[in-house]
């Protein structure tokens, strides 16, 4: 099969398309022919190896542990290994291969069934591939914040991004009044996916919007926690999924420390959320997709494995709107 191969950390230009052996599904695995894959900040970090802290999270200290990068995918079950009973050949599936031996930027991957869910019939492979990591992170962040209740006021910073677009739609589906923060080019998009109010951060300081929000989900970071807490009600929750600069481990550690310190004072809560691959949440996303309560926003579409470096460069440049995907099997 053809696959993107990563033998060292570095810029996306270091990635190569190679012919490698197609994996055989082992006991408790299925072989998925991958139709589409998407890109996440974690893909950028795992390819570049920066910040250095990411290498200590299981990716490999001095060189990548996994030959094929990529996490989010959607495709069709090609064959089933021994012991698998809940999936069969021909099933259309989507999920995250994070933590498995095979990456998503390839024609095939051997995947445990607990990393997969059936793709809803009303969702394309591209839209399904754009969902897992960003969608799961969104669900887990709001759960950590105590859940979204009808009538609550929710602020989403980075509302035009991958997690942000999911967060706006999910909070609205729960009956919350959502305010999105984004740049000028994202205003119309954020309003179109359900935000009742949109703040253009290039024109207005959203941290001076007054103490009015029950939940502040921060997908971007970069602002002091003390400033972010100004917009919260006295018992509000600040939840962040941002871990600091793309290049600086010190920035990531400093962000974590600030959150830990902030969470010890006052009635307001401050939490940092590190998402975990979770099939229960993947199945919840499947239901939300099927019901039309969440629709992935696709920013850029690429075609063929040879364009994966372009996909990653687009992610690394920042300011993407929604998710970007690559179609591997037309």
Q: What is the pLDDT of residue 227?
A: 87
> 151 — alpha (psi -120 to 50), left (phi > 0) or beta?
left
Please indicate whether residue 66 or residue 35 has the higher confidence score (pLDDT). 35
Count of residues in the chain: 330
Q: What is the pLDDT of residue 194?
A: 97
Q: What is the pLDDT of residue 259?
A: 56
Beta bridge partners of 73: 37, 95
Q: What is the pLDDT of residue 245?
A: 43
State percent of the chain over pLDDT 70.
93
pLDDT, tens digit (0-9, with 9 covering 90-100), for 45-56:
999 998 777 787
Q: What is the pLDDT of residue 209?
A: 82
| Mean pLDDT of the region 27-37 | 98
Q: What is the pLDDT of residue 254?
A: 60
Range of lowest pLDDT (115-119, 149-153, 251-255, 313-317): 251-255
Please indicate whether residue 99 or residue 304 has the higher confidence score (pLDDT). 304
> 198 — alpha (psi -120 to 50), left (phi > 0) or beta?
beta
Q: What is the pLDDT of residue 258?
A: 60
Q: Which alpha helices (DSSP H) does the chain contain, by range? A: 41-48, 125-129, 132-144, 162-173, 187-192, 225-228, 249-262, 279-290, 308-317
The domain limits of the chain are 2-131+296-327, 133-272
State the number of CA atoms in the 13 A half-sphere of 296 facing the CB: 30
pLDDT, tens digit (0-9, with 9 covering 90-100), for 121-141:
999 999 999 999 999 999 999
Q: What is the pLDDT of residue 249?
A: 43
pLDDT at 152 over 90: yes
Mean pLDDT, the chain, whole residue set: 91
- With a CB cutoff of 8 Å and minimum separation 6, the contacts of 327 are 35, 36, 125, 126, 301, 302, 303, 304
In DSSP notation, 204-217 reads S-GGGS-S-EEEEE
Q: What is the pLDDT of residue 210?
A: 80
Q: At what angle do helices 308-317 and 41-48 cross, to 10 degrees?
A: 110
| Mean pLDDT of the region 254-277 | 71
CA-wise closest residue to 217 among 231, 203, 235 = 231
Range of lowest pLDDT (36-40, 65-69, 97-101, 152-156): 97-101
State percent of the chain over pLDDT 90.
75
Phi, psi of 14, deg, nearest 5? -75, -10
pLDDT at 319 over 80: no
Q: What is the pLDDT of residue 250?
A: 47
pLDDT at 266 over 70: no
CATH number of 133-272: 3.40.50.720
The reply to whether the predicted model has a pTM over 0.85 is: yes
122, two tokens: 């009303």
pLDDT at 212 over 90: yes
pLDDT, tens digit (0-9, with 9 covering 90-100), for 220-264:
988 888 888 899 999 999 999 986 544 444 454 565 566 556 555
Q: What is the pLDDT of residue 225?
A: 84
Which residue is associated with the tokens 């739609």?
169
Q: What is the pLDDT of residue 329?
A: 85
- Domain boundaries 2-131+296-327, CATH class: alpha beta
pLDDT, tens digit (0-9, with 9 covering 90-100), for 285-309:
999 999 999 999 999 999 999 999 9
Distance CA 299, CA 161 (A): 9
Q: What is the pLDDT of residue 253?
A: 54
| Mean pLDDT of the region 268-287 | 92
Q: How sure is the predictor about 59, in pLDDT bands with cuts at 50, 70 and 90?
A: confident
Enumerate long-range contacts of 254-262, CB under 8 Å, 24 or more apart: 255/221, 258/224, 258/225, 259/225, 262/225, 262/226, 262/229, 262/238
């Amino acid at each position: 099969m053809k696959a993107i191969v990563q033998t060292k950390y570095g810029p996306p230009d270091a990635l190569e398309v190679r012919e490698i052996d197609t994996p055989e599904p082992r006991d408790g695995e299925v072989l998925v022919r991958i139709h589409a894959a998407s890109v996440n900040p974690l893909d950028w970090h795992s390819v570049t190896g920066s910040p250095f802290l990411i290498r200590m999270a299981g990716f490999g200290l001095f060189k990548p542990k996994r030959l094929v990068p990529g996490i989010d995918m959607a495709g069709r079950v090609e064959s089933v290994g021994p012991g698998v009973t809940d999936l069969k050949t021909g099933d259309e599936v989507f999920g995250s291969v994070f933590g498995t031996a095979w990456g998503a930027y390839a024609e095939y991957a051997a995947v445990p069934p607990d990393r997969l869910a059936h793709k809803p019939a009303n969702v394309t492979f591209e839209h399904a591939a754009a969902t897992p990591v960003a969608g799961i992170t969104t669900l887990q962040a709001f759960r950590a914040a105590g859940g979204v209740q009808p009538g609550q006021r929710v602020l989403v910073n980075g509302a035009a991004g991958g997690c942000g677009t999911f967060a706006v739609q999910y909070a609205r589906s729960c009956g919350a009044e959502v305010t999105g923060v984004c740049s000028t080019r994202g205003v119309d998009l954020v309003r179109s996916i359900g935000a009742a109010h949109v703040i253009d951060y290039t024109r207005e300081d959203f941290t001076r919007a007054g103490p009015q929000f029950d939940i502040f989900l921060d997908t971007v970071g970069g602002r002091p926690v003390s400033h972010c807490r100004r917009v919260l009600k006295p018992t509000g929750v600040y939840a962040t999924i941002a871990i600091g600069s793309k290049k600086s481990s010190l920035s990531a550690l400093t962000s974590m420390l600030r959150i830990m310190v902030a969470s010890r004072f006052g009635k307001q809560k401050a939490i940092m959320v590190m998402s975990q691959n979770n099939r229960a949440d993947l199945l919840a996303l499947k239901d939300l997709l099927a019901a039309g309560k969440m629709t992935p926003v696709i920013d850029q579409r690429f075609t063929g494995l040879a364009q994966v470096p372009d996909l990653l460069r687009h992610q690394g440049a920042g300011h993407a709107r929604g998710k970007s995907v690559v179609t591997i099997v037309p």
